[in-house]
Amino acid sequence: MRWLLFLLLVCPIWAAESPPDQSLALTPVRMAYGELALELNWDAYGPELRPGGGWVTLGDRVRVPAIIRREGTAGARISSQSPLSVRELAPVLEPVLCSGEGALRVKVRDLFCNEVEWEAPPERVHWSPGSLLEEVRRQVCGLETWATIPAGEPITDLAAFLAGCPAPDDLALLQQDFPLLFQPPQLPPPATTTCQGAALSPAGLLLYQALDVIRHMELTHPLPWTSLHPYHWFEEKVGGIVISFSAEESYCCAGVLLPQGAPGRALVLSRKDPRLWPSRPGWYDPESGAGLLPLILELVRLARGVERPSDCGHRDSGPDYLGPWGVAWALARKLAEGDIRIGLTPEQREETALYASQLLSSRFCH
């Protein structure tokens, strides 16, 4: 008896001995290329289930392999063996996660064709807290963050803003959100500038300045393709950025191992593209076609390709498709019209309007 009591204390049984005792635990994770997914653990009532392998289906939409473990006389613990894509589950997650209504259908089938189904009410669905859950909530619920400036304050004078380095805390955050990698794998190029104690190459400084401008954008209306602030939207799509010395053109995306050891999705920026790496820092030079403007739009274009690739070869069918080139053109137009404020002068807004018109005439099939 003492031996049995010891086992119960060390290895407690979490068995659902009746249907009302069931519970569903969902843990947000990232898949290999940064896509959000869920791991599932279901404390099920299933006296007919046999232990071993099987399949679990969530919301009648996503089915993955599972392991079934018997616990108690009628309970079973169901654990998913592959992540379940949040993107595919979004329609069935929305009422439960966002408004606490409805129910989440879950079904398990063992290798002997025994099945158990359950409609999990919101109060029996447990979500693992953390930053990934907040990303899941934004993706599923479409939270509106467009009116909030992530950096706190808008830019009033872009030239003065770009004259120095990002503030120390801002630079540390940018480096954490978007680690900088190189291709071919190598040590970073020799730094020619020291930015708030961090040694950066000119390309690295320019990249973080571009991201810092995005972070400071002040929007008067939401973007046409997301209700998120552009920095939050970009953060959801991209885990890192690669500066490539071998790629002929920039592209999305490369699977990389991020500095913290987790796999992630990175945009690849070609060092051979002169538009992205001006010899002198500035917003936009119509003669050379280079500047911070093309770099910002290229970052947005590549990130959009994660969720909506071009549908007409390397171009978009039209601006209304809101593909990679569509969102780049829309962002340029909003900057030119003042719907997005970053401290541009009237001359800089005219240059931005010119660049937007060039995109409209060259990057769409019709």
User: What does the domain layout of the chain look like in residue ranges?
Assistant: 11-141, 158-362
Radius of gyration of the chain (CA): 25
> What is the per-residue pLDDT across 77-121, written as a single tens digit (0 to 9) for each?
999 999 999 988 988 998 999 888 899 999 999 999 999 999 999
> What is the per-residue pLDDT across 216-274, written as a single tens digit (0 to 9) for each?
999 999 898 888 899 999 998 899 999 999 999 999 988 888 777 778 889 999 999 99
Collapsed DSSP state (helix, strand, coil) of residue 86: helix
Question: How many angstroms from the chain centroid is the CA of residue 184?
Answer: 25
Closest residue by Cα to residue 78 from 49, 111, 44 = 44
**Can you tell me the distance from the alpha carbon of 361 to that of 163, in angstroms, rounded to the nearest whole number?**
33
User: 């805390």: which residue's tokens?
Assistant: 169
Q: H or E element: which one contains 50?
A: none
Residue 12 has pLDDT above 90, yes or no: no
pLDDT of residue 7: 33
Amino acid at 107: K
pTM of the model: 0.67
Give the pLDDT band of residue 11 (cuts 50, 70, 90).
very low
Strands 263-270 and 251-257, sheet pairing: antiparallel
Q: How far is CA 180 from CA 207, 208, 251, 282, 318, in A?
A: 9, 9, 15, 21, 33
- The set of long-range contacts for 144-147, using a CB threshold of 8 Å and a minimum separation of 24, is 144/222, 144/227, 144/228, 145/227, 145/228, 145/229, 145/232, 146/219, 146/221, 146/222, 146/223, 146/226, 146/227, 146/228, 146/229, 147/219, 147/229
**Can you tell me the distance from the alpha carbon of 352 to that of 289, in angstroms, rounded to the nearest whole number?**
11
Give the pLDDT band of residue 333 (cuts 50, 70, 90).
very high
> What is the per-residue pLDDT across 168-186, written as a single tens digit (0 to 9) for each?
889 999 999 999 988 887 6
pLDDT of residue 150: 93
Task: Enter the CATH code of domain 11-141.
Answer: 2.60.40
Phi, psi torsion values for 141, nearest 5 degrees: -90, -15
